[in-house]
Structure 1
Amino acid sequence: MCGIAGIFHCGTPKPVDPARVERMCDALVHRGPDGGGVWTAPGVGLGHRRLSIIDIAGSPQPMQSADGRAMIIFNGEIYNFRELRRELELGGAQFRTDGDTEVILAAYRKWGVDCLSRLNGMFAFAIYDLDKHTLFLARDRFGVKPLFTAMLSDGSLAFASELKGLLAHPLLRRKVDPLAIEDYLTWGYVPDHRSILDGVEKLPAGHFRLLRHDSPAAAPVRWWDISFAERARGKPADLEAELLFHLREAVSSRMVADVPLGAFLSGGVDSSSVVALMAEASSNPVQTCSIGFDVAALDETSYAREVARKFGTDHRERIVDPNDFAEIGRLADMFDEPFADASALPTWRVCQLARESVTVALSGDGADEAFAGYRRQVFHAAEERARSVLPASLRTPLFGTLGRVWPKADWAPRPLRAKSTFQSLAESGEEGYARALSIVAPELRGTLYSPEFRKILGDYRAEQPLLAMMRGAPARSGLDRAQYADLKFWLPGDILTKVDRTSMAVSLEAREPLLDHRLVEFAARLPHHLRIRRGQGKWLLKHAMERYLPNDVLYRPKQGFVTPVSQWLRGPLATEARAIGSRTTIAGTGWFDGERIGKLADDHIAGRSDHGRLLWQLLMLDKTLGKLGVCC
């Protein structure tokens, strides 16, 4: 894993100052502490920070192709590079190194941009073609690896693995995009179609850009998409066998490394499945790590220990303090953009633990999105059945009225918490799923903004890009569209951002075998009853893993990392919560109704209501804006 940065002049190929590229790379040293380099030519500069994983001594970057006609900087891993190398060697290619970077170069020299479809891995890279004077930027299918870009006032395009790399460039304008605030308040992160800074973009997952010196910067081009439009045929037993084949291939291909390798083990279905298949493929004990909490309701370490004993792993665990609220400033540093997924804190802690013994760790991320493992997906499938029976002319007035009058009762038993279900059923399937995915509903968001900020937003609402994505999805059902949204919107913006930043903060490479594109493409073709059955998501995956894992691991309720932000904001962070509306950076922006936020904080602290997630969002926004030193 590495960090990349560069500058490319669209127009006149002006000289690039190598010191400027070096400063951008220095901001990314945590991503690559093992070495670095800078290369410049007229109109272009490429920089790299390296975390050595494969061919430790033999693949420095920036790297020149064997024929001297292309240069590459690369962040990620290509898991099928040995197979590609053999194919390229049969065609006459010669190699000087044993790593995957040179294979990408040779593949580009042979197939051009079509090389992307042949790569199985996680990547963001830049290739400068010295013959064509073009810059080729590309990002992997799911967006495991990030890439930020910005057009600057001197006509150049700057790019970097993290926003902090761009922030090191003196010409970058630090002006907030107001639409990003609406996006962030809705989702808890800034989605990939936007950045917190006006003028900064993220290359979308599964896209590339081809830039020339003699023309304006070209728009991103999509080179891959996931389709739910087809259905697999066959007996469940045959599909289960095919699933296991894909799982074994995905895990074994990600176990190639020239440095110590291990796995995160939470004790849930996904990470336990990865560990089980790693143990099957390895002759040595798998190194696993878990973190737990000293609060029984939050702790899963007993399940992780059970799995570790079953597969004889070299297991390490650590109990962390759930009141680790002093680290929120560190989180703001890691993410650069406001990021309110509170599980980032325990994720960072497990990465720290893993890095004490390994340099690469496999995770279980991606299975919920691919196999319908989220509770919201199961609920959405049930709601879609109701929508198919009740016409909108009946649903909208009936459930709309119920949704307005039904009390919000987060404290009540689940069957009595019907308000959000009624609100969802009054809407279309896409609107209902957007409501399920959001953190702050539109009714509440509208009360938070100042009149001036509402004018700036105009007709824009954060749900609009998601609704357009779902309506245009290559899908056959509402469940398909929900999973498509999770894979294309939620996964890169939240889950993969969280894992990338927290792992890279400690120079750890995290790999996601359950996001192997062949596995996910297979999962997208599964019939509904093999995804969800009897109210259980991930049905076929769980059934397939019964031969490996005990039922109390496979079929217990999903838990996940929990951080007690509501308690923090009633206790040690109560003073900060009270100050959000009046004495903070965001209070000075004029975007929000300070009195309204103050009332929400008072109600939360007094226990009259639970606004913990919203207050946490506002607090993380305030910390991030303070770190960025932005103007409004």
Structure 2
Amino acid sequence: MCGIAGIFHCGTPKPVDPRRIERMTDAMVHRGPDGGGVWTDQGVGLGHRRLSIIDIEGSPQPMLSADERAMLVFNGEIYNYRDLRRELKELGARFHTDGDSEVILAAWQKWGPACLSRLDGMFAFAIYDRTERVLFLARDRFGVKPLYMANLSDGSLAFASELKGLLAHPLLRRQADPLAVEDYLTWGYVPDHRCILKGVEKLPAGHYRLLRHGGPPAPSVQWWDIDFSGRHSGSTADLSAQLLHLMREGVESRMTADVPLGAFLSGGVDSSSVVALMADASREPVNTCSIGFDVAALDETGYARRIAERFETDHRERIVDPDDFGAVDLLAGMFDEPFADASALPTWRVCQLAREHVTVALSGDGADEAFAGYRRQVFHAREEQVRSILPQALRGPILGGLGRIWPKADWAPRPLRAKSTLQALGATGEEGYARALAVTAPEMRSQLYTDAMERQLDGYRAEQPFVELMRNAPARSGLDRAQYADLKFWLPGDILTKVDRTSMAVSLEAREPLLDHRLVEFAAGLPYGARIKGRQGKWLLKHTMERFLPRDVLYRPKQGFVTPIAEWLRGPLQNEARAIATSATIADTGWFSTSRLKRLTENHISGSADHSRLLWQLLMLDRSIGNLAITL
């Protein structure tokens, strides 16, 4: 696991100052504390920071190919590199190291961009071909590893693993993009199609870009997509056997490391499944770690402890409480862009705990997206059944109208909180699911924005690209489309960003075995009943793991990695909540009505409404703007 950076002159090749590359990589030293390197040639420069995981002594970067034709910088791991190495050696390739980096170089030289489909792993890399004079940038299927890019005023393209790498370049403009603010306020993060800074973009997951000196601007090319349009046949027993085989392969392939290895253990289905299969494949006790909370209703350490005892792991745990709020500025600095998934705080803490004992940790991320494990996916599937019975002409005016006038009663019992359901049913499936996923509804955003902000948005709403993504999905049902959007939009923008930044901040490599692409491709073809049965999502996975895990772990209501922000902002952190509305940084943007911010803050503190997620969003936005020194 590493950090990469580079500069490429797309027009006339100009000299690249190696000190500039070095400053970019030094800004990301946390991603690779074990070493670094810089290489430059006419019109190109590549930089690297290394966290040694495989072939610890033998794979320094930037790495030159055996025939000295190509140069590589690489962030990630290739899990099938040994198989590829054997195949390439049979085809005449020569190797001087024992790691996966040199395998990528040889694969590129043999197959060109088609090499990507042969790589099983998480990666973002850049290869400069010295013969063809081209730069090849690529990102893995799901976007586990990030890659930021920016076209600069001197005609060059700069790229880096994190935005802070680009911020080290003196020519990068720091002007805020108001469309990204709308995206952020909607989703709680800035999705991959946008960046908080104008002129900066992210290479999308499953895409590559091929740039040539003097050539025309090169668009990103999609090299992989997930297809939900097919369906597997076979009995439950057959499907379960296939699933278990693929899960074992995903876990065992990610246990390869030349450094200490462990796992995150929340006590939920996914992390418990990973730990169970790790214990089954390991001769030594698995290192596990858990984070809990000082609010008993949200604390799952008891379940994690049961799994640790069941598989005799070497287990450690730690508690997060309001005192951890003091680290919020550090948290904001990890992400650069505003990021308001409150579970980032405990994720960072569990990464810190893991790093005290291991260098690599496996997680259970990805299974909810692939197997329909989120409650919103189950609700959406049921709503789609209603939509199939009632035409839009009836649903829109009747159910949508009711949703508009129904009170938003956060304090009421769940059956009486029907506003969101009515609004969703009054819309199309895609619009309804966008509403279910959004942190802040469009009505609330409109209330908060100033007239000046609305003019800058010029009618844009963050739901628009999400709805288009769902409508164009290779899918057969509404559930398919929801899962597709979760895998393509939510997963890289929120979940994987959270894990990458918090783990890399402490120089820990996190791996996601349940995101093995063969496993996810299998999951995409499962029939409806293997995904959702009654009110149970992720049914086949739970059924398959019954031989390993207790039923009350498998079938208890999903809780998620929830931080007690609502309670904290009403109690020990209420002064911090009030400070958000009076923040000079927020006020200076001119984006929000200060009086409305004050009112919603007091409504939250009084308990008459739950605005905790929105307040946390504004808090993280405030910190990020200050850290980035953004111009408005």
Quote the residue 1:441 is aligned against.
441
Quote the residue 1:515 is aligned against.
515
Q: What CA deviation, in whole Å up to 9, does each residue of 1:437-472 have, x standing for no partner?
A: 001101111111110110110121000000110000
Question: What are the residue-to-residue correspondences of 1:105-124 with 2, within 5 Å?
Answer: 105-124=105-124
Quote the residue 1:498 is aligned against.
498
Quote the residue 1:481 is aligned against.
481
Gaps of 5+ in 2: none
Q: Write the letter of the residue equivalent to 1:149.
A: M
Counterparts of 1:274 and 1:289, CA distance in 2? 13
1:422–1:323 Cα change, 3 Å: farther
RMSD: 1.0
Quote the residue 1:267 is aligned against.
267
2:351–2:502 Cα contact (<8 Å) kept:
yes
Counterparts of 1:589 and 1:292, CA distance in 2? 36
2:298–2:564 Cα contact (<8 Å) kept:
no
Does structure 1 residue 161 correspond to structure 2 residue 161? yes
Counterparts of 1:566 and 1:312, CA distance in 2? 35
Quote the residue 2:248 is aligned against.
248
Counterparts of 1:216 and 1:496, CA distance in 2? 32
1:400–1:426 Cα contact (<8 Å) kept:
yes
Taking structure 2 as the reference length, the TM-score comes to: 0.99
Counterparts of 1:339 and 1:585, CA distance in 2? 17
Counterparts of 1:320 and 1:448, CA distance in 2? 31
Quote the residue 1:630 is aligned against.
630
Quote the residue 2:95 is aligned against.
95
Quote the residue 2:288 is aligned against.
288
Question: What are the residue-to-residue correspondences of 1:413-452 with 2, within 5 Å?
Answer: 413-452=413-452
Quote the residue 1:32 is aligned against.
32
SS in 2 for 1:292: strand
Quote the residue 2:335 is aligned against.
335
Quote the residue 1:173 is aligned against.
173
SS in 1 for 2:6: strand
SS in 1 for 2:585: coil
Counterparts of 2:200 and 2:590, CA distance in 1? 23
Quote the residue 1:404 is aligned against.
404
Percentage identity across paired residues of the two chains = 76
Counterparts of 2:352 and 2:507, CA distance in 1? 9
Q: Write the letter of the residue equivalent to 2:150.
A: A
Counterparts of 2:604 and 2:251, CA distance in 1? 45
Counterparts of 1:443 and 1:113, CA distance in 2? 45
Does structure 1 residue 459 correspond to structure 2 residue 453? no
Deviation at 1:323, TM superposition (A): 4.3
Does structure 1 residue 388 correspond to structure 2 residue 388? yes
Q: Write the letter of the residue equivalent to 2:289.
A: C
Q: Which moved more, 1:581-590 or 1:147-156?
A: 581-590
SS in 2 for 1:318: strand
Q: What CA deviation, in whole Å up to 9, does each residue of 1:324-380 have, x standing for no partner?
A: 211111111000000000000000000000000000000000000000000000000
Counterparts of 2:26 and 2:356, CA distance in 1? 23
Q: Write the letter of the residue equivalent to 2:339.
A: F
Q: Write the letter of the residue equivalent to 1:209.
A: R
Q: What CA deviation, in whole Å up to 9, does each residue of 1:518-540 have, x standing for no partner?
A: 00000000000000001100000
SS in 2 for 1:38: strand
Deviation at 1:284, TM superposition (A): 1.1
1:539–1:206 Cα change, 3 Å: same
Deviation at 1:576, TM superposition (A): 3.6
1:294–1:394 Cα change, 3 Å: same
1:323–1:564 Cα contact (<8 Å) kept:
no
Q: What CA deviation, in whole Å up to 9, does each residue of 1:206-241 have, x standing for no partner?
A: 000000111233111000000000001111110110
Quote the residue 1:549 is aligned against.
549
Counterparts of 1:140 and 1:35, CA distance in 2? 24
Taking structure 1 as the reference length, the TM-score comes to: 0.99
SS in 2 for 1:45: strand
SS in 1 for 2:154: coil
Q: Write the letter of the residue equivalent to 2:494.
A: D
Q: Which moved more, 1:559-568 or 1:435-444?
A: 559-568
Q: Write the letter of the residue equivalent to 1:192.
A: D
Q: Which moved more, 1:282-291 or 1:95-104?
A: 282-291
Counterparts of 1:195 and 1:294, CA distance in 2? 35
SS in 2 for 1:436: helix
Question: What are the residue-to-residue correspondences of 1:8-23 with 2, within 5 Å?
Answer: 8-23=8-23
Counterparts of 2:250 and 2:548, CA distance in 1? 17
Counterparts of 1:572 and 1:208, CA distance in 2? 47
Deviation at 1:416, TM superposition (A): 1.6
Counterparts of 1:349 and 1:575, CA distance in 2? 24
SS in 2 for 1:158: strand
Deviation at 1:573, TM superposition (A): 3.5
Deviation at 1:306, TM superposition (A): 1.1
Question: What are the residue-to-residue correspondences of 1:352-391 with 2, within 5 Å?
Answer: 352-391=352-391
1:584–1:622 Cα contact (<8 Å) kept:
no
Deviation at 1:413, TM superposition (A): 2.0
Q: Which moved more, 1:386-395 or 1:69-78?
A: 386-395
Q: Write the letter of the residue equivalent to 2:349.
A: R
2:322–2:572 Cα contact (<8 Å) kept:
no
Counterparts of 1:581 and 1:411, CA distance in 2? 23
Q: Write the letter of the residue equivalent to 1:55.
A: D
Q: What CA deviation, in whole Å up to 9, does each residue of 1:460-494 have, x standing for no partner?
A: 10000001100000000000000000000000000
Question: What are the residue-to-residue correspondences of 1:198-209 with 2, within 5 Å?
Answer: 198-209=198-209
Q: Which moved more, 1:385-394 or 1:69-78?
A: 385-394
Counterparts of 1:10 and 1:611, CA distance in 2? 47
Counterparts of 1:202 and 1:486, CA distance in 2? 18
Counterparts of 2:243 and 2:328, CA distance in 1? 40
Counterparts of 1:321 and 1:583, CA distance in 2? 24
Quote the residue 2:53 is aligned against.
53
SS in 1 for 2:146: coil
Q: Write the letter of the residue equivalent to 1:38.
A: V
Q: Write the letter of the residue equivalent to 1:488.
A: K
Q: What CA deviation, in whole Å up to 9, does each residue of 1:72-98 have, x standing for no partner?
A: 000000000000000001111111000
Q: Write the letter of the residue equivalent to 1:593.
A: S
Q: What CA deviation, in whole Å up to 9, does each residue of 1:241-267 have, x standing for no partner?
A: 000110000000000000000000111
Quote the residue 1:310 is aligned against.
310
Q: Write the letter of the residue equivalent to 2:43.
A: G
Deviation at 1:322, TM superposition (A): 4.5
Q: Which moved more, 1:603-612 or 1:543-552?
A: 603-612
1:179–1:457 Cα contact (<8 Å) kept:
yes
Quote the residue 2:192 is aligned against.
192
Q: What CA deviation, in whole Å up to 9, does each residue of 1:12-44 have, x standing for no partner?
A: 100000000000000000000000000000000
Q: Write the letter of the residue equivalent to 2:385.
A: R
Deviation at 1:506, TM superposition (A): 0.2
Counterparts of 1:296 and 1:566, CA distance in 2? 14
Does structure 1 residue 42 correspond to structure 2 residue 42? yes
Quote the residue 1:257 is aligned against.
257
Counterparts of 2:568 and 2:216, CA distance in 1? 49
Quote the residue 2:219 is aligned against.
219
Counterparts of 1:567 and 1:625, CA distance in 2? 26
Q: Which moved more, 1:192-201 or 1:585-594?
A: 585-594
Does structure 1 residue 77 correspond to structure 2 residue 77? yes
SS in 2 for 1:585: helix
The number of residue pairs the alignment matches comes to: 632
